[in-house]
Chain A
């Protein structure tokens, strides 16, 4: 499997930001009242994520370690502003329904997380596809949650009446508690399916996020769970000061 494809699959399945990493819960729970809102939020985030990953990866040798977070924020905020202006101009309805959650993409954990753990240590093309994969995973998850909530809470899907008129909408799914129920049910469902696949001998280990639970001998620089960086300079990691990475990861733990 080539690298770009692997990054896409990793974001969609293995490390799905919503169902597996549980990142970016705030927009996930807040805007998924309908499938369209979920899809809109997901795609908006994907655009920002892919572009910010690409640019942070391009700038990774220039950004000093100590001010990397502010630098990431500046890059991300730039793209969020661009995307927001585009939405206001071309999709005003979506812009209105997503409201404050568009500017809040700046502080979305997924974007900052991918910048910190992947784009900062990996070449631009892989980072771009990592962003697209994560973004697609986020968009797919939000659309699923939004779709289920819209179907149960209003009897519609993408604004069209799907269920017969005899169906009485269960309003709670359109409200905040429903978001938690649906998210939990979908996470349980995908864990169940993954467990079954694992037992059937179809583990998705080949789509490596690269975690073999052995961080000492791990070759994946993009692993989000990585703590040790004792192997020195990695094949993937073409930054100049490998020992800084250890400090970087230790800093993360202290937070």
Chain B
């Protein structure tokens, strides 16, 4: 590979943004959410974040050291400090309930970085979102601890579980964040603040989140059983990890389609799947599985939404003179 240094892989788009710049912006955008999590759930939330972030970065360093000194890949670049591992760790922490044992958070980080990211080739090569994959890994492995949202601040069921049981919920509380849930999913205001920052900086656009949320609302409206009841729909939108997932996970550059048309398809697919999981599934939440499933379909979506090359019509047919 050393001889290919002058040619990068496509798309050949020039930008002043570097990987670490984007990751820093994402970290900044996550700060309101993380801050609210610490405010609402206490210092233990901070401990969970510190553990997952440091475990993620440490795993990446260890993997690099192993590849370099044991396997003899001297040319391997150390990507531990470009903040991408830190973003993965922080996103994982925001997806955990505050009461998880700290080692469980660390195990999730190791899984995210080692198995999902580095073993598939490192930054840019992971086929699903590492933080979400780690969350699902933990959810399958330790179902009791991962769905136990009781802590000092809150007791009782999450709003989505209440909704599923057919009870009424206070939407205002859900938007502000005065409800139970994982560390980072409760406050819609904090997430929206971070999302606005990313939108203003141009790091994400509304294609994926917009089509995701719209298709989700339409699905829940038609099939949710309560029609287009405003209270119900906004509770579904504000509840669970939907906002966090739509703005911070589904928009992950690596695991979303690169074509604009594909991004709409992807967003609509995520909305439909989340709706199906929430309305017809056995558990109240389905955002993580929907996004993971969407990630797996990305290569297929990209294949069918590839724009025609310059000078060629639909299906790659050449215009004008042949030959």
Q: By the criterion CB–CB under 8 Å, are B140 and A168 in contact? A: no
**Is A175 an interface residue when CB atoms closer than 8 A count as contact?**
yes
Chain B CB count within 10 A is highest, among A168, A177, A192, for A168
- State how many angstroms separate the Cβ of A36 from the closest Cβ of chain B: 22
Which B residues touch A177, using CB under 8 A? 140
18 contacts between A and B (CB under 8 A): A168-B101, A168-B104, A168-B142, A170-B107, A170-B141, A170-B142, A171-B140, A171-B141, A171-B142, A171-B143, A172-B137, A172-B140, A172-B141, A173-B141, A175-B140, A177-B140, A181-B115, A192-B71
Which B residues touch A175, using CB under 8 A? 140
- State how many angstroms separate the Cβ of B128 from the closest Cβ of chain A: 12
Which A residues touch B71, using CB under 8 A? 192
A residues 64-121 with Cβ under 8 Å of B?
none
In this complex, the interface size class of chain B, counting residues with CB under 8 Å from chain A, is: 10 to 19
B residues 199-227 with Cβ under 8 Å of A?
none
Chain A: interface residue total (CB-CB under 8 A): 9
Chain A CB count within 10 A is highest, among B101, B137, B141, B143, for B141
Which A residues touch B137, using CB under 8 A? 172
Cα separation A92 to B240 with both chains bound (whole Å): 47
Cα separation A127 to B141 with both chains bound (whole Å): 44
Which A residues touch B142, using CB under 8 A? 168, 170-171
- Mark interface residues in A163-189 (1 if CB within 8 Å of B CB, else 0): 000001011110101000100000000
Which A residues touch B141, using CB under 8 A? 170-173
Cα separation A181 to B142 with both chains bound (whole Å): 17
Cα separation A168 to B100 with both chains bound (whole Å): 12
Cα separation A171 to B136 with both chains bound (whole Å): 12
- Show the binding face of A for B, using Cβ within 8 Å: 168, 170-173, 175, 177, 181, 192
Cα separation A170 to B141 with both chains bound (whole Å): 5
- Show the binding face of B for A, using Cβ within 8 Å: 71, 101, 104, 107, 115, 137, 140-143
Cα separation A171 to B71 with both chains bound (whole Å): 31
Cα separation A173 to B115 with both chains bound (whole Å): 14
Cα separation A171 to B115 with both chains bound (whole Å): 17
CB-nearest residue of chain B relative to A188? B119
Cα separation A173 to B140 with both chains bound (whole Å): 10
The 6 A-B pairs at the shortest CB distance, nearest first, are namely A172-B141, A170-B141, A172-B140, A171-B141, A172-B137, A171-B140
- State how many angstroms separate the Cβ of A193 from the closest Cβ of chain B: 12
Which B residues touch A172, using CB under 8 A? 137, 140-141
CB-nearest residue of chain B relative to A196? B70
Cα separation A168 to B101 with both chains bound (whole Å): 11
CB-nearest residue of chain A relative to B139? A172
- Add 6 more A-B contacts to A172-B137, A172-B140 (CB < 8 A): A168-B101, A170-B141, A170-B142, A171-B142, A172-B141, A181-B115
- State how many angstroms separate the Cβ of B32 from the closest Cβ of chain A: 33
Which B residues touch A173, using CB under 8 A? 141
Cα separation A175 to B142 with both chains bound (whole Å): 12
Cα separation A181 to B107 with both chains bound (whole Å): 15
Cα separation A171 to B104 with both chains bound (whole Å): 13
Cα separation A168 to B140 with both chains bound (whole Å): 13
Which A residues touch B143, using CB under 8 A? 171
Cα separation A126 to B104 with both chains bound (whole Å): 51
Which B residues touch A181, using CB under 8 A? 115
Cα separation A181 to B137 with both chains bound (whole Å): 12
- State how many angstroms separate the Cβ of A167 from the closest Cβ of chain B: 11
CB-nearest residue of chain A relative to B107? A170
CB-nearest residue of chain B relative to A168? B142
- State how many angstroms separate the Cβ of B69 from the closest Cβ of chain A: 14
CB-nearest residue of chain B relative to A199? B72
Cα separation A168 to B104 with both chains bound (whole Å): 10
CB-nearest residue of chain B relative to A169? B141
Cα separation A227 to B104 with both chains bound (whole Å): 51
- State how many angstroms separate the Cβ of A192 from the closest Cβ of chain B: 8
Cα separation A26 to B42 with both chains bound (whole Å): 48
Cα separation A170 to B110 with both chains bound (whole Å): 14
- State how many angstroms separate the Cβ of A201 from the closest Cβ of chain B: 16
Cα separation A181 to B116 with both chains bound (whole Å): 11
- State how many angstroms separate the Cβ of B174 from the closest Cβ of chain A: 31
- State how many angstroms separate the Cβ of A175 from the closest Cβ of chain B: 7
Which A residues touch B101, using CB under 8 A? 168
- State how many angstroms separate the Cβ of A151 from the closest Cβ of chain B: 14
Cα separation A173 to B107 with both chains bound (whole Å): 14
- State how many angstroms separate the Cβ of B302 from the closest Cβ of chain A: 25
- State how many angstroms separate the Cβ of A162 from the closest Cβ of chain B: 19
- State how many angstroms separate the Cβ of A129 from the closest Cβ of chain B: 36
Chain B CB count within 10 A is highest, among A170, A173, A192, for A170
Cα separation A6 to B140 with both chains bound (whole Å): 44
- State how many angstroms separate the Cβ of B309 from the closest Cβ of chain A: 36
